[in-house]
Chain A
Amino acid sequence: AQSVTQLDSQVPVFEEAPVELRCNYSSSVSVYLFWYVQYPNQGLQLLLKYLSGSTLVKGINGFEAEFNKSQTSFHLRKPSVHISDTAEYFCAVSDQVQAGTALIFGKGTTLSVSS
């Protein structure tokens, strides 16, 4: 069975500061890794994904994440946040062997950016 732990439920930061949202996963099989963002009253939007290859993945809106297999982590980073980045962020995994299987999500991290 797979599980995802997002280590921080809330992350408050000031505008233009760097941010890291932490995600650890547990799985007995190889996995694909994802970060989704959810703005208020909206569905989930894909930020970035790790399927294979380079462990540093770049996504939309200036976000990037690094896959660390030995630490089973997939932390999300942005060097300088904007007010508009305020949202809920979800880390998710899916089974790499059985492609197309459902996503297992963490509980989410609320990023609050203030001026």
Chain B
Amino acid sequence: EAGVAQSPRYKIIEKRQSVAFWCNPISGHATLYWYQQILGQGPKLLIQFQNNGVVDDSQLPKDRFSAERLKGVDSTLKIQPAKLEDSAVYLCASSLQRDPQYFGPGTRLTVL
């Protein structure tokens, strides 16, 4: 069974530029999560989708972050414009209802 796929694995941008990350969850997993992991901390939820609907985006900085999951499968997370404090690893995870979450390898973003 293929795992959660993410791309790119690494991205370096200048502040005020925009960036997008892509995630393809495990086949059949209806729930998709984006987490932000700042160095030295545990992951923190940014947004949760159930199929193509948003379940929880209370911690998403909506003035600069956006995410979509148009067909209920893969998802894109965008940052525009990026700030220095957005430097982090962005993790995508997916799950079936009541099952543990399975994580992708993450995208490491460096904002200069």
Task: Give residues in A with beta carbon < 8 Å to B.
Answer: 4, 34, 36, 41-46, 49, 90, 92, 99-103, 105-108
Is there an interface contact between A43 and B41, defined as CB atoms closer than 8 Å?
A: no
- Between A and B, 22 residue pairs with Cβ closer than 8 Å are A4-B42, A34-B100, A42-B106, A43-B4, A43-B103, A43-B105, A44-B43, A46-B100, A46-B102, A49-B100, A92-B42, A99-B97, A100-B31, A100-B50, A102-B33, A102-B45, A102-B48, A102-B56, A105-B43, A105-B44, A106-B42, A108-B42
Is there an interface contact between A107 and B40, defined as CB atoms closer than 8 Å?
A: yes
- Is B95 positioned at the interface, with any CB of A under 8 Å from its CB? yes
> When the two chains form the complex, which single residue of B95, B97, B104 contacts A43, counting CB atoms closer than 8 Å?
B104
Q: Which 9 A-B pairs have the closest CB atoms?
A: A105-B42, A102-B45, A43-B103, A44-B103, A99-B98, A43-B105, A43-B106, A100-B97, A43-B104
- Interface range for B: 20 to 34
- Is B73 positioned at the interface, with any CB of A under 8 Å from its CB? no
Task: Give residues in B with beta carbon < 8 Å to A.
Answer: 4, 6, 31, 33, 35, 40-45, 48, 50, 55-56, 91, 93, 95, 97-98, 100-106, 108
Cβ distance B65 to chain A, nearest Cβ, rounded Å: 16
Is there an interface contact between B101 and A103, defined as CB atoms closer than 8 Å?
A: yes
Residues in A neighbouring B108, C-beta threshold 8 A: 41
A42-B105 contact in complex given A49-B100, A99-B98, A100-B98, C-beta closer than 8 Å: yes
What residue in chain A is nearest B6 (Cβ atoms)? A43
What residue in chain A is nearest B92 (Cβ atoms)? A43
Residues in A neighbouring B40, C-beta threshold 8 A: 107-108
Is there an interface contact between B98 and A103, defined as CB atoms closer than 8 Å?
A: no
Residues in A neighbouring B50, C-beta threshold 8 A: 100
Residues in A neighbouring B6, C-beta threshold 8 A: 43
Residues in B neighbouring A92, C-beta threshold 8 A: 42
